Structure 1
Amino acid sequence: MSKTKANRLTRVVNLIDKAPAGWRTGLLSLVFGKSVKFAGTAKVRVHQLTHERSELSIANRKKVQNHIQGVHAAAMALLAESATGFLVGMNVPDDKLPLMKSLKVDYLKRTTGGLKAVASLTPEQIHAIHTQDKGEVLVKVVVTDEAGIEPIACEMLWAWVSKQRKSA
C-alpha cells in the first residue's frame, strides 16, 4: 500500500484497535451504526476493518427478516454495500467523498441464519484510490450464510470525487 496520511476513518479504527480485543467489534459497530443510521438500525456488526479487507455481519433477527423468516433482500444488500463502502472509506483521502455508483445484487438461494460479508481491495485498487483525484473501483464482496452458502452475488461499484464542488 502507498504511504499516505491516514484519513479520519483510519484514525478512528486505529484508535479502536488499541482497545481490548473483546471490545473492538462492539466499538467498531457502534461508530459505524452512528455514522450510517440504516446499518445501525439493522445492527450490522463490524468485525474487521483494514485498508485491504472488511468483514461485517448481520444476524437473522425478527427486525430484518422477510416473510419466510430469512434475512430480507434489502438487509442482504445493505450488508454487502456496507462492507464495500467502509472498505473504500478506509482508503479515500479526507478531501474526497466515497460515493456508491452502482449496486447489482443477484439473489441465488434462500438464507440459513445470519450473514457475513467479506470485501477486499487489491493493492492496485488501493493505490488508485490514494493517488487519483477521482475514479471508480469495483469492490469484490462475498456474502455467505451460516451454512457457508453464498445466497447472493454482488457487484459494488464505488467512486470517489473531490468534496469541493467546482463552480460553474
Structure 2
Amino acid sequence: MTPTKPNKVMSLYKKVTAYPFGKQIFSKMVSRMAPYFGTVHPYISDLRVNRCECLIKKRKKVQNHIGTVHVIAICNGLEMAMGTMAEASIPAHLRWIPKGMSVDYTAKAGSDILCVAEVKPEQWQVGDMLVDVKAYDTNGVVVVQGHIKLWISEKPQK
C-alpha cells in the first residue's frame, strides 16, 4: 500500500532538497526532531517512499578502539534511516513504533558507512513489520545487516 500523495515528511524533503545544501539542512532537521541521531552527524543522501539512505562519515567521534566505525554508531544510523523512511512512507491511517533490532556484524567498518532501510509497499499492514536494514562500506561490502521490528497499528479515530 503506497500513499497516494506525499506525506508531511516526504513533502518537506522534496521542498528542502530543491535548495542548495538541502540534504544537509534536511538531515539536521531530522536530527533535531530526534536529537540522539545527531551524535553521528548523519547525512540523508536519498529518501524515497519505502527506502532511505543515510551516510555516516568515519571520524574519531564514531570510531572504536581498533579504528573502525563503532557498531552502535552504525545501529544509530540504521535506526535513523528506518525512522525517516517510516515517517516518509507510512500510509496516513497507520502509525508505527519500534519494538526491537536484530543485527549481525558481517565485516569491519573501516570507511564511511551508508545505512539503508527498505521495505516493500505491501508490508504496511497492522501488526509486526520487519524493516530490512543494511550498512555498506565505501566498497559496497555489507558490514552490518539485520532487521528493525516495528509495531504497526491503526491511528485512533479523532
Report TM bin, short chain: 0.7 to 0.9
Kindly indicate whether residue 114 of structure 2 is the aligned counterpart of residue 148 of structure 1. Answer: no
**What is residue 58 of structure 2 aligned with on the other side?**
60
Percent sequence identity is: 28
**What is residue 149 of structure 2 aligned with on the other side?**
157
Say which SS state the counterpart of residue 151 (structure 1) adopts.
Answer: strand
**What is residue 15 of structure 1 aligned with on the other side?**
15
**What is residue 139 of structure 1 aligned with on the other side?**
131
Gaps of 5+ in 2: none
How far apart, in 2, do the equivalents of 1:27 and 1:92 lie?
23
Contact 1:59 1:114 in 2 (8 A): yes
Report the aligned-residue RMSD. 2.2
**What is residue 122 of structure 1 aligned with on the other side?**
120
Say which SS state the counterpart of residue 58 (structure 2) adopts.
Answer: coil
Contact 2:99 2:151 in 1 (8 A): yes
Q: Which amino acid aligns with 2:46?
A: Q
Contact 1:49 1:55 in 2 (8 A): yes
Gaps of 5+ in 1: none
Bigger mean CA deviation after superposition, 28-37 or 87-96: 87-96
Give TM-score scaled by structure 2 length. Answer: 0.85
Could you give the per-residue CA deviations for residues 79-112 of structure 1, whole angstroms, max 9, x where no partner exists?
A: 1121122111112256654211120011122112
Q: Which amino acid aligns with 1:117?
A: C
How far apart, in 1, do the equivalents of 2:145 and 2:33 lie?
26
Give TM-score scaled by structure 1 length. Answer: 0.81
Q: Which amino acid aligns with 1:141?
A: V
The total of aligned residue pairs comes to 157
